[in-house]
Amino acid sequence: MPVYNESATIREIVRKVMQVPLNIELIIVDDASTDETGEILKTEIQVKYPDIILLSHPVNKGKAAAIKTAIPYCTGGIITIQDGDLETEPNDLIHLTEPIRRGEASVVYGSRYLNTHESHLYRSYQLGGRVLSWSVNLLYGQHITDEPACYKVFKADILKSIKLDYDRFEFCPEVTAKVSKMGYKIKELPMNYYPRSFAEGKKLNWLDGLKALWVLIRYRFTD
């Protein structure tokens, strides 16, 4: 769980993750938050859940950098990224991990479009996400509907074998490009989505969408 300034949601999202009926190992990376997130993690969450591995960066490095910090600490057979906000429903991880637990898939993405109630807050984000999904299908021969979906679930050894070049929100397109080039077919399953507004702390912006498109294109033609 990469977190940056999530003091409003961190307690609740950790509580929700820890009650998921799976054998969960939670690693939280506080990316030099400037609000009370770090304090809450140390004085409340670590005390309540001593098994959580709490890591921190001395300076803000970005979401992908936080993921890279956490990966070596993962000992389980499956790895996913859980955001520190409340836009996702952690119980979705039960069905999203199932194809991997059964040995039927190696990479599973959640899709907000396969869900019965699709619920985007910003149409521009929805369109941007669609363009990214089409680009993945066109450039890499996948058949996905929701490239930027928050839940991406991997067999641990696959994610561990990928050298991640970028540090910020480029994680999604980079990992999508690289698993595709490794020959894995991405399986998509429905996921719930409860979008938050910028006022509520959303940090991703339109420039990240453009960067994502660039990252998808560059890895199609270079390593």
Ligand X SMILES: Nc1nc2c(ncn2[C@@H]2O[C@H](COP(=O)(O)OP(=O)(O)O)[C@@H](O)[C@H]2O)c(=O)[nH]1
Task: Say which amino acid occupies 62.
Answer: G
For position 66 contacting ligand X by CB under 6 A, the verdict is yes
The number of angstroms, rounded, from the C-alpha of 92 to the middle of its chain's C-alpha atoms is: 13
Question: How far apart (Å, rounded) are the C-alpha atoms in residues 153 and 20?
Answer: 15
For position 6 contacting ligand X by CB under 6 A, the verdict is yes
The β-bridge relationship of strands 78-80 and 152-155 is antiparallel
Helix (H) / strand (E) containing 54:
strand 53-56
From ligand X, Mg ion, none, which one binds at residue 2 (CB under 5 to 8 Å depending on kind)?
Answer: ligand X
From Mg ion, ligand X, none, which one binds at residue 63 (CB under 5 to 8 Å depending on kind)?
Answer: ligand X
In this chain, which stretch among 19-27, 82-90, 91-99, 183-191 interacts with ligand X, using CB under 6 A? 82-90
Question: How far apart (Å, rounded) are the C-alpha atoms in residues 189 and 109?
Answer: 6
From Mg ion, ligand X, none, which one binds at residue 204 (CB under 5 to 8 Å depending on kind)?
Answer: ligand X
Residue from 14, 17, 52, 63 touching ligand X (CB under 6 A): that is: 63
Q: Name the DSSP letter for residue 42.
A: I
Q: Which residues bind Mg ion (CB under 5 A)?
A: 83, 85, 87
For position 83 contacting ligand X by CB under 6 A, the verdict is yes
In this chain, which stretch among 55-63, 129-137, 184-192, 215-223 interacts with ligand X, using CB under 6 A? 55-63
- Hey, which residues between 185 and 214 contact ligand X (CB under 6 A)? 202-204
- 196, two tokens: 């938050």
Backbone torsions φ then ψ of 23, nearest 5 degrees: -80, 90
Closer residue to ligand X in complex, CB, 85/188: 85
Q: From the CB of residue 159, how many other CB atoms can be counted at a distance below 10 Å?
A: 23
Residue recorded with tokens 């397109």: 173
**Site of interaction with ligand X (CB under 6 A):** 2-4, 6, 29, 31, 60, 62-63, 66, 83-85, 87, 150, 202-204
